[in-house]
Structure 1
Amino acid sequence: MRANKYEEVWTRIMFEKIEVLSNKTAITRTEMKQGVITLVKGLNAYFNKEISAQNDAEYINKVWNNFHLCEITMNLIGSLTPKELMEIFPIEKIYDGKKYQTKDWFSAHEAVQQLAQETPISESKEVFDFLWDYHNWDLHIFTVNVIASMNNINKMEKGRGLLEQFLEEQGVRTINKMDMIDVNWEEERDGE
């Protein structure tokens, strides 16, 4: 029950913030940072539930609206400087990434240092690429939601998800095509 309230509250706050910001002719840096926080946390809560629609047209509209919300958020993130982003979404203080071959404070800090610190992120690097290198759980979840949104659009346009399309392009048959990746375990054991 608590998780649902959390999602509802952040979703409501997000749509209220969008309405407030969209009625302004210009926004301050502080309002932009507050907008990014609200959009990222709001979208993370909003995308936590399945898209429900009464018909195909409503579903298509919702999928595209979700994608546009992601685009708006990515553009706002791109308008921030690396320093501003680190203020509102600090790098996670996990230091053993090298040991486990994962992102950590050091790898994220290195990605940040490669950018000009006082210019917007989008002027130095693609925002999506930067988010991929950055290490903050709110932004990780947001990045996965962006991919999920792109996946939904790909399913509508091409009838299959991004992973299915990638595997098909690589010549790997997927479960959805009623063929499974076949591993001959006997051969695997014989080769040991």
Structure 2
Amino acid sequence: MYNFYVMDGKKLIDYKPNKKHYASAIIRFSEKIGCLNEMSNEKFLSAYPDQFKQYLYLLIKFISNAFDSGESYTKEEIKEWFYLISGVNDMVECLTPNEFMQMFPIAKDYDGEKYEVKDYFYCIAYISQMDINKPIGQENGPEFLMEYWNWDINMYMCTWMGIVNRMHQAHGGRDITEEFFESQGVHFNTYYEEDGYMVDNVTGERHKVLKSQNRLKKLFSV
């Protein structure tokens, strides 16, 4: 979905859709189709291929814009978010790589090797190992999204990881990032900004954090 520009008098205002716009579009779409709950993803794609892709696009944009990692969601709300991203992934798995690339073109970034990050060439090399006219499939779905290079999908997968992490915590787990680094022998400290000290989470030792002082000379007097 593109950004829009709205005239306000003689000024041109940059208008970008937000979560409310995507939510409204999803509701209108669901009311228009009316039989989404009665069809499997495969039947939906077969019967209404264009609508299937429009609906998937709206869901991906909505999730990226609506989920707030800093929000205090209840356990039931986290479950609903988790079921939503699971449903989106199931829809992605029904598409072929070729169809997905038409929906979300690979970003035209070509300097990934220089900065040791993914780019257009990396993504093309990954997809070339697949049959681009065969459905992505359940066995490839999550990895395909992780390896894909498109800013909308990057944002979606960051949100996806946040929801998976919150779901893990809701079932008694700890932060996935902390668990991973601790498994690699790296431990975290907890910083109490208001009190100005840091605690070693392993030993319990407390360390005073000194605020940095401006060492630049005053060049001008006012």
For normalisation by structure 2, the TM-score amounts to 0.69
- Residue 7 of structure 1 deviates from its aligned partner by 2.1
Question: Which structure has the bigger radius of gyration?
Answer: 2
- 1:172 paired with 2:186, answer yes
Of 105, 109, 119, which residue of structure 2 is paired with 1:90?
A: 105
Q: Deviations over 1:89-117 (max 9, x none)?
A: 00001111111111111111111211111
Contact 2:69–2:162 (CA under 8 A) maintained in structure 1? no
- Residue 63 of structure 1 deviates from its aligned partner by 0.3
- Which residue number corresponds to residue 76 of structure 1? 91
- Residue 50 of structure 1 deviates from its aligned partner by 4.4
- 1:9 paired with 2:21, answer yes
Of 81, 94, 114, which residue of structure 2 is paired with 1:66?
A: 81
Moved over 4 A (4+): 2-5, 18-21
Structure 2 unaligned blocks of 5 or more: 1-13, 192-198, 203-222
Q: In the superposition, relative to structure 1, how do residues 52 and 173 fare at CA in structure 2: closer, same or farther (>3 Å)?
A: closer
Greater relative CO, 1 or 2 (CA 8 Å, sep 6+): 1
User: Kindly, what percent of the aligned residue pairs are identical?
Assistant: 26
- Which residue number corresponds to residue 219 of structure 2? none
Contact 1:11–1:45 (CA under 8 A) maintained in structure 2? no
* AA partner of residue 138 (structure 1): D
User: What does 1:31-42 correspond to in 2, within 5 Å?
Assistant: 31-42=51-62
Q: Deviations over 1:24-65 (max 9, x none)?
A: 534222222112111111111111474455xxxxx1111010
Q: Deviations over 1:124-150 (max 9, x none)?
A: x52111111111000011111111011
* AA partner of residue 162 (structure 2): A
Contact 2:92–2:136 (CA under 8 A) maintained in structure 1? yes
For normalisation by structure 1, the TM-score amounts to 0.79
Of 132, 143, 146, which residue of structure 2 is paired with 1:129?
A: 143
What is the count of residue pairs matched by the alignment?
Answer: 175
Relative to total residues, which structure has the larger helix share, 1 or 2?
1
- 1:46 paired with 2:66, answer yes
User: What does 1:146-165 correspond to in 2, within 5 Å?
Assistant: 146-165=160-179
Contact 1:13–1:42 (CA under 8 A) maintained in structure 2? no
Contact 1:81–1:117 (CA under 8 A) maintained in structure 2? yes
* AA partner of residue 91 (structure 1): I
- Residue 169 of structure 1 deviates from its aligned partner by 2.6
Structure 1 unaligned blocks of 5 or more: 54-58, 182-192
Q: In the superposition, relative to structure 1, how do residues 179 and 14 fare at CA in structure 2: closer, same or farther (>3 Å)?
A: farther
Tell me, in whole angstroms, the C-alpha distance in 1 between the residues paired with 2:104 and 2:30.
Answer: 20
- Which residue number corresponds to residue 185 of structure 1? none
